Amino acid sequence: MIPAEKASVGILLHGTQRDPWSGNIALPGGHSEDSESSVETLIREVREETNIRISRDQVQKQLVGFTPNSRPRLVVYPFVVQMENYDGASPGPEIQEIRIVDLNQRKTGNYSNTNLPAFIFGDLVVWGLTYRILRYFIQSEWNP
């Protein structure tokens, strides 16, 4: 999610132990309920995970689909959402904490002792699917 003025802010979440990607930094999201559109899923998941209420008017665009390496049959479709602020943001039951980061402050490196590329925001290391989504956004969509 990005603020309305296209400043360099994104929202990252840290999952709980019930999450199969626990310990990883992730963006808000989840599966669609019966008869939900992808935008309805986005709005519901952001509210459930962050207590932030967004409207359809704030949804700017859907990005290309991404496939997690660990679940090749799953396709994740990220969205760009226009945000005025992050007032009211608080972790839902699935989330340990919410962190707002400045994309301009990212450093590049590797995840732990691997060759996996990562973005580093202070003590947060973003790798895997979230890294690939952010890298695509930064290279293809972001215009600070």
CATH code, 131: 3.90.79.10
Residue 144 lies inside a defined structural domain of this protein: no
Which pTM was predicted? 0.86
Distance CA 80, CA 62 (A): 6
Residue 57 lies inside a defined structural domain of this protein: yes
Q: What domain range includes position 99? A: 2-139
Secondary structure of 51-109 in HEC code, one letter for each residue: CCCCCHHHEEEECCCECCCCCCCCCECCEEEEECCCCCCCCCCCEEEEEEEEHHHCEEE
Residue 106 lies inside a defined structural domain of this protein: yes
pLDDT score recorded for residue 9:
58
pLDDT score recorded for residue 83:
85
Residue 31 lies inside a defined structural domain of this protein: yes
Distance CA 83, CA 60 (A): 10
Residue 46 lies inside a defined structural domain of this protein: yes
The string of DSSP letters for 24-39 reads SEE-S--PPPTT--HH
The total number of structural domains that make up the chain: 1
pLDDT score recorded for residue 10:
67
Instruction: For the chain, 144 residues long, give each residue's pLDDT as a single digit of tens.
Output: 555 445 555 677 776 656 655 567 888 888 899 999 999 999 999 999 999 999 999 999 999 999 988 888 999 999 999 888 888 899 998 888 888 888 888 999 998 888 999 999 998 899 999 999 999 998 887 765
Residue 23 lies inside a defined structural domain of this protein: yes
pLDDT score recorded for residue 116:
92
Residue 114 lies inside a defined structural domain of this protein: yes
CB 101 within 8 A of CB 89: no
